[in-house]
Structure 1
Amino acid sequence: MSSEPGAKEDRAQKEELNKKIKEQKIVVDELSNLKKNRRVYTLQPNSNIFFLADKGETLSTCKEDLDNMRKEYRDI
């Protein structure tokens, strides 16, 4: 066990981020395996409304988010 004051918080933050990374991997895999004619909807920020979105743009955004999460995980 580490006696550093922030060790528990860092561990908890790392576990939470790891969980989000796993969820994001699933999203990327699901989007990657969709048939070409499938529609993709995204949730608008600060609302409960979904709008039709471009599959390619959504996939690239999700991949960027995953990469950012992985970088943040490594930095912790």
Structure 2
Amino acid sequence: MNIVQRVTVTALTAQELVSCALSKFLAGDTISTKAIIDAVRRAAPACGDSDDHLVELIVMTAIGRTMGVLFDHRSR
């Protein structure tokens, strides 16, 4: 008899999405807030967090990983 288990997939939090996007960089790298926000939006289009909240998470996470932050998310 085949038994199929149901697996529920939980949505990642905004902090987890930011952390995942930043995991591709190394300590000492300078990261772009625009690039990380874009990566989060591509990974989770339904993420309802504002750009300002994502920037806050980016800064807190990047500083903890000794990364520089380029605040370019509002430039065009």
Q: TM-score range by the shorter chain?
A: 0.3 to 0.5
**TM-score, normalised by the number of residues in structure 1:** 0.36
Structure having the larger proportion of residues in helix = 1
Greater C-alpha Rg: 1
Relative contact order, higher structure (CA 8 A, sep 6+): 2
**TM-score, normalised by the number of residues in structure 2:** 0.36
